[in-house]
Amino acid sequence: MMNRIFALCAMAMLLAGCSDGEQATTETAVDDTKVYHWRMVTTWPKNFPGMGTAVEVYADRVRKMTDGRMDIRVYGAGEIVPALEVFEAVSQGTVQMGHGASYYWKGKVPAAQFFTAVPFGFTAQEMNAWLFYGGGIELWRQLYAKYDLVPIVGGNTGVQMAGWFNREINSLEDIKGMKMRIPGMGGEVFERAGGIAVSLPGGEIFTSLQTGVIDATEWVGPYNDMSFGLHQVARYYYYPGWQEPGPALELIINKTEYDALPEDLQEILEVAGRAMNADVLSEYTARNNASLSELVDKHGIEIRRLPDDVIAEFKRIAKEVVTEVVDDDDPLTKQIYDSYSQFLENVSSYHEISERAYINTRGSGGQR
């Protein structure tokens, strides 16, 4: 009898995964047969080149890496919820995941804008450095936890273009009263410079510009802008993309759903996100070049640089706008701003003598 009790105790300890004298811990066993059927809503049209196709690849990779245990179905803007309701839908648990850009939520979470793009802020390389090695992603997680969300970095388009215009911009006067699609802090800067900024999802840009609802627009760069046919409804294509020098895209997951996942699936979602983040930047870097040539050579688009005084004024206003996002009653927003600003100051000093110095030295045209 005593032997039998001893044997049962030993087995119980073994199952609990502890040795004699160690306190038994209650660990939930991983159910590796359970299949998670998730839905992901996006702010882009279904399969839109780059950002839309990247999420399909993400879902495929996750399916393969989990041997089918994680089945994510991707939906384009408007299929389940409109583009600009992605944050709400995932936060409330209507769907488990979303893909978009955090600055779309500036009305609800002003500090979220730091995690997409800041006018005259980080390039893509600097953004990734801040997020992964400068404490950025931890701050982003803290910020989104309040909304029951977990963010994963989900792509970067690199430096964008300043946008499409139907008239030349020779001075600030030309911007007065101009209605332009330009989201985030860039939009706020444009407003203060005398324009009217509107935030439209990508899928609504072409028609809005064609019908005169807006006079100008920025979207991404040659590759994506040509996909939407923006060259058919505007003549001048301006640079540099002061408003979005290295915008990050986001994958968002409902935190309650995320916390209920086994650890291996959580890790796969994260690592697949990192792969996607690198892929998107490479894809845009490769394809923007080819699309730019086509826009100029085939479609006769005129490429123009914004005048120096216009850029200088945007830059002056941007400083005010970025500083004003800081809310003294909200310590986390202040912390995000401080972290971003400090990192920018440090990284830009080094990039003066590395990235910028090198690119200036090389010039354009490569070695041929």
Give residues in contact with Ca ion (CB under 5 A).
Answer: 160, 218, 244
What is the crossing angle of helices 263-297 and 51-65, to 10°?
150
* 243 vs 349: CA distance, rounded Å: 21
Q: Which residue is nearest to Ca ion (CB)?
A: 244
Neighbours of 352 (CB within 10 A): 10
3-class secondary-structure state, position 167: coil
User: Whose Cβ is closer to Ca ion: residue 147's or residue 250's?
Assistant: 250
User: Whose Cβ is closer to Ca ion: residue 98's or residue 245's?
Assistant: 245
* 144 vs 115: CA distance, rounded Å: 11
CB of 220 to Ca ion, least distance (A): 5
CB of 241 to Ca ion, least distance (A): 7
User: Whose Cβ is closer to Ca ion: residue 130's or residue 228's?
Assistant: 228
Neighbours of 113 (CB within 10 A): 26
Token pair listed for 291: 């699309």
CB of 230 to Ca ion, least distance (A): 12
CB of 141 to Ca ion, least distance (A): 24
Neighbours of 274 (CB within 10 A): 14
Residues near 255 by Cβ (< 8 Å), separated by ≥ 6?
144, 145, 148, 149, 150
User: Whose Cβ is closer to Ca ion: residue 150's or residue 180's?
Assistant: 180
* 125 vs 110: CA distance, rounded Å: 23
CB of 163 to Ca ion, least distance (A): 8
CB of 219 to Ca ion, least distance (A): 6
User: Whose Cβ is closer to Ca ion: residue 62's or residue 117's?
Assistant: 117
| DSSP conformation class of 48 | -
User: Whose Cβ is closer to Ca ion: residue 39's or residue 181's?
Assistant: 181
* 317 vs 302: CA distance, rounded Å: 27
User: Whose Cβ is closer to Ca ion: residue 42's or residue 160's?
Assistant: 160
3-class secondary-structure state, position 24: coil
| DSSP conformation class of 1 | -
CB of 62 to Ca ion, least distance (A): 27
User: Whose Cβ is closer to Ca ion: residue 87's or residue 103's?
Assistant: 103
CB of 105 to Ca ion, least distance (A): 15
Contact 216, 85 (CB under 8 A): no
* 274 vs 286: CA distance, rounded Å: 19
